[in-house]
Structure 1
Amino acid sequence: MTDPVDRIEARIAADGRGTVTVAGRSEELAGWEPEVTKRVIVARLVDLAHERGRPVELALDQEAGGAEVLRVHPSGVVEPLTGAAPPSPAAGPAAPTPARRAPTVQDLLTARPAAPEPPAAQGWRGRVARATGLRLSPGAAEVRHRAAIQQVRRSFSAPRTVVVINPKGGAQKTTATLLLAATFGVHRGGYVLAWDNNETRGTLGWRAGSTSHNRTAVDLLTDLNRFGDTGLQRVGDLDRYVRDQADSQFDVLASDEDAAASSTIDDLAFRRLHATLARFYRVIVVDTGNNMRASNWTAAVDTADQLVIVSTEREDTAASAAWLIDGLREKGHERKVQNAVTVLAAPALNSDPALAKRLHAHFDQLTRSVLHVPYDPALVGGGPIEFGALAPATREAWLQVAASVAQGM
C-alpha cells in the first residue's frame, strides 16, 4: 500500500498564495510571486524526500499556469512527469516570413544566462555543502529568506512612504517603525528614513541609537526654506536634523522632545516636510501618534503608499486596530486597507494560540496579508533598539514583513 505522504497535492492562487496538503493536513503559504511560491513548495518537498529517503510526487495546480506533476528526489532533482502539449499546426497558407530585425547590444545583454543560484548556506544542506563541497540546492526556509531579500531590494518607480498605525498606545508602532526601517536599510543599503510624526512628542528618537545632536522635525520645519529649488540639495545636508543609524543604514527624524515647547506638527507641516524628505529618501517609514483625528495623522494616511497596521496579540490592542480599520473604510480608504499589511506581535513568551488564530482570521479578511512576529526579550526594556541584538527568528520575521510591505508598493 502506498504511503499517503508519497503523493503531495499543492495549489498556487493567482496572487501567489499557496496551499500544500500532506497526508490530509493542509498548510497555507503567504502570497509571494507565484514562481517564488512554487520554489518554496518544491524546496519543502526536497526536505520531505530527504527525510523519507525516497522521491515524492507533487501534483501542482496553478491558477495562473495550469496543472503539472513533478517527481521530487532527495538529491534536489525535480523531474517533470507531465509536460505542455505541442502547439497545434497553423491552419491555412503560411504567412510570409517578416524581415529579420538586426540585433542590438540590448538584445545581447538580455540574452545573458541568469547567474546560477548560490548553493545552500543554511540548515542541514548548508552543513553538508560546507563539509563536502557539494552544491546542494537551498531548502524551503532558505528559499523563502532569499525571496524576501529580493522583494525588499526591488526597484520602485518613485519614493515610497510606509505609514505604521494603531490609535492605541503600546501597540508597538515605534518598534515596528524602527525594525522596518532597519530591515530596509540593511538589505537596500541606505536612503531609508524612520520619521516620528507625532503631533507633539513621540519616543522614536529615544528608541533609536545615540546621536551627536537633539534636533527634530520642528527644527527641520523651521529651516525648510533652506532646501528650496536653489538651496541644499544633498542627503548629507540633512545630517544636522536626522540621526544616523550607521549599523543599520537608515536615518531617524525625531518628533519634538522639548518638554516646555508648545509647537505642534499639523497637516500642512507634514506635507511640506514630506515633499522635501521624499527628494532625499527612497523609503520613508512613518511612525504615527494615537490621535487618528489629528490633522497630521490623516495627512500621513493620505500620503501612504502602504499602510502597516500593527498590534500585539491582545484583545484591547487588536480591538483598537479593528476599530481603526472600520474608521478608515468609512472615510474612503477601503483600497488602502485592502492593500495593508497587518503585523501581530506576540506580547509574551507564552501567548494564547487560540487568540492569535482568531485575530489572524479577522484581519486576514480585511487586509492583504497578516504576519506574526515573535516575542523578543531584547525589545522589552524600552531602551534603544539594537537590530543586531535581536534573535535570528525576530530578524527573519521582520524581513518577511518588509518583503510583504515592498510587494504592496
Structure 2
Amino acid sequence: MTDHGEGQAGPDEITHDSLMRRTAERPRRGWRKVLYEATGGRYNPGISEDEAGRNVLLRRIGRQLPGAHRIAVTSIKGGIGKTTVTACLGLTLAEHRGDRVVALDANPDAGTLADRLTGETSITVRQMLEKIDDIDSLTEMSRYTSLAGRLQVLASDQDPAMSEGFNREEYTRISTVLSRFCNILLTDSGTGLVHSAMEGTLELADTVVVVGAPTVDGASRAGKTLDWLAAHGHREHAENAIVVLSQDRASHEVDAEKIHDHFAQRCRAVHSVPSDPHLAAGGRIDLDLLREPTREAFLRIAASVSDDFATR
C-alpha cells in the first residue's frame, strides 16, 4: 500500500466526471435541438452559450436544501409588483426543483396571490388556523392549499376585517406547519412593514426579496425598505437582500443603470424583470405565456435565492 506523504498528490478521485469521456451536451433548445433530433442524435452541434448559461442557473436552482427555507417578499408600500414577483418566483422554484414549494399570502388587505395563481380563494389561512392542531400530514395540510402546477398556494382572508386578526403568533404557527411538510416557503408579506404578521415573517425569514422599480419613487421605496430593515434589527437581512426591479413601471428619463449600481452596493444581488404583457394584464399567471427574457429573469432571481441554500 503506497503512502502519499504530505504535499504529494494522490491518485485522481474515481467519479463519473473523472472517468467518462467528454461529449458535447445534448441541446434542448433552438435550432441545435432540431438538428440533433433530425439526425437521430448522430450529429450533435453542442449547446449554445445562452443554453450553457441557463444550465448553470438551473444547477444553482437545484441546490440541495438541508432543511426548510423561508423567503419573505416585501416592500414598504404596495402597488410595486410584490405579488407578481412572489407568484413567478414560486412557480419557477416549483418547476425546477424536485421538492415541495408553498406560497403563503400574508397580506392583511385581502391579498390577490391566490387569484393570480389558482383562482381558489374559498379556503384561506383562517380555515387552516382553525384546524391547525389537527394537521399532522402533508395530506391534511394540502386540504387548505390549491395548486398552480407544482406550487402549493395558501390564500389570505378575503374579508379585510377578518384578516386584520392574522398576527405575529398566528403567522408563526402557520409557518411552522407549512415548513414541516414543504421545503421552501415563500411569503407575500402584504402592504407595509409594520403590521403584526410582518414581524413574524422577518423573524423567521432566511432570505428577503425587496421589490422596487427603476423609477424615482420605485427606487425610493426599495431603498426605504432596506433602511427600515437595517434600523429595526434586521441589518443582516438588508445586507443579504435580493432587490428585484420591475420594469412594468419605467421611464427613459431615469438612469436605470445608476439605480442598479446603487442597490448593487447595498445588498447581495439586484435583478431587473422586463415589462411583459402577460404580467401587465393582471390575470392568472402562466410561466409558459411569459416572454423568454421574463422567464430568464426569474431564473436568475431563483438562482440568487438558491445560493442561500449552500450557506445553511
TM-score by length of 2: 0.87
Distance across 2 between alignment mates of 1:367 and 1:272: 30
Alignment counterpart, residue 140 of structure 2, candidates 205, 224, 237: 237
Query: Secondary structure of the residue that 1:286 maps to in structure 2?
Result: strand
Distance across 2 between alignment mates of 1:194 and 1:173: 13
Structure 1 residue 181 displacement after superposition: 0.6
Pairwise CA RMSD: 2.5
Distance across 2 between alignment mates of 1:385 and 1:111: 39
Kindly indicate whether structure 1 or structure 2 has the higher relative contact order, using CA contacts under 8 Å at least 6 residues apart.
Answer: 2
Matched, 1:367 2:279: no
Fraction of identical pairs, as percent: 30
Distance across 2 between alignment mates of 1:257 and 1:362: 37
Q: Deviations over 1:198-228 (max 9, x none)?
A: 23421112212234x611111111111102x
Alignment counterpart, residue 345 of structure 1, candidates 227, 241, 246: 246
**Pairing of 1:299-310 with structure 2 (within 5 A):** 299-310=200-211
Residues 111, 363 of structure 1: alpha-carbon distance in 2 compared, 3 angstrom cutoff: closer
Query: Secondary structure of the residue that 1:199 maps to in structure 2?
Result: coil
Unmatched tracts of structure 1, length 5 or more: 1-95, 100-106
The match for 1:145 is 54
The match for 1:198 is 107
Structure number having the greater strand percentage: 1
Does structure 2 conserve the Cα–Cα contact (< 8 Å) formed by 1:216 and 1:253?
A: yes
Matched, 1:97 2:3: yes
Residues 117, 275 of structure 1: alpha-carbon distance in 2 compared, 3 angstrom cutoff: farther
Query: Secondary structure of the residue that 2:194 maps to in structure 1?
Result: coil
The match for 2:192 is 291
Alignment counterpart, residue 183 of structure 2, candidates 275, 282, 286: 282
Matched, 1:311 2:212: yes
Structure 1 residue 160 displacement after superposition: 0.5
| 4+ runs deviating over 6 angstroms | 107-112
Q: Deviations over 1:133-166 (max 9, x none)?
A: 4323322211110111111111111011111011
The match for 2:169 is 268
Q: Deviations over 1:378-407 (max 9, x none)?
A: 111222212221112211111111011101
The match for 2:133 is 225
Alignment counterpart, residue 393 of structure 1, candidates 280, 293, 309: 293
Residues 137, 155 of structure 1: alpha-carbon distance in 2 compared, 3 angstrom cutoff: same
Q: Deviations over 1:64-85 (max 9, x none)?
A: xxxxxxxxxxxxxxxxxxxxxx
Distance across 2 between alignment mates of 1:209 and 1:111: 42
**Pairing of 1:7-406 with structure 2 (within 5 A):** 97=3, 113=19, 118-123=25-30, 125-126=32-33, 129-130=36-37, 133-211=42-120, 214-227=122-135, 232-233=136-137, 235-245=138-148, 248-258=149-159, 261=162, 263-347=164-248, 351-352=251-252, 354-406=254-306
Residues 190, 111 of structure 1: alpha-carbon distance in 2 compared, 3 angstrom cutoff: closer
Structure 1 residue 368 displacement after superposition: 0.8
Does structure 1 conserve the Cα–Cα contact (< 8 Å) formed by 2:91 and 2:287?
A: yes
Structure number having the greater helix percentage: 2
Does structure 1 conserve the Cα–Cα contact (< 8 Å) formed by 2:214 and 2:246?
A: yes
Structure 1 residue 121 displacement after superposition: 3.5
Distance across 1 between alignment mates of 2:61 and 2:167: 31
Does structure 2 conserve the Cα–Cα contact (< 8 Å) formed by 1:185 and 1:192?
A: yes
Distance across 1 between alignment mates of 2:163 and 2:107: 13
Structure 1 residue 271 displacement after superposition: 0.7
Structure 1 residue 312 displacement after superposition: 2.1
Structure 1 residue 327 displacement after superposition: 1.4
Distance across 2 between alignment mates of 1:262 and 1:122: 45
Does structure 2 conserve the Cα–Cα contact (< 8 Å) formed by 1:338 and 1:366?
A: yes
Query: Secondary structure of the residue that 1:252 maps to in structure 2?
Result: strand
Query: Secondary structure of the residue that 1:394 maps to in structure 2?
Result: helix
Alignment coverage as a number of residue pairs: 298
Query: Secondary structure of the residue that 1:277 maps to in structure 2?
Result: helix
Distance across 1 between alignment mates of 2:297 and 2:286: 16
Distance across 2 between alignment mates of 1:376 and 1:179: 12
Distance across 1 between alignment mates of 2:106 and 2:125: 8
Does structure 2 conserve the Cα–Cα contact (< 8 Å) formed by 1:374 and 1:394?
A: yes
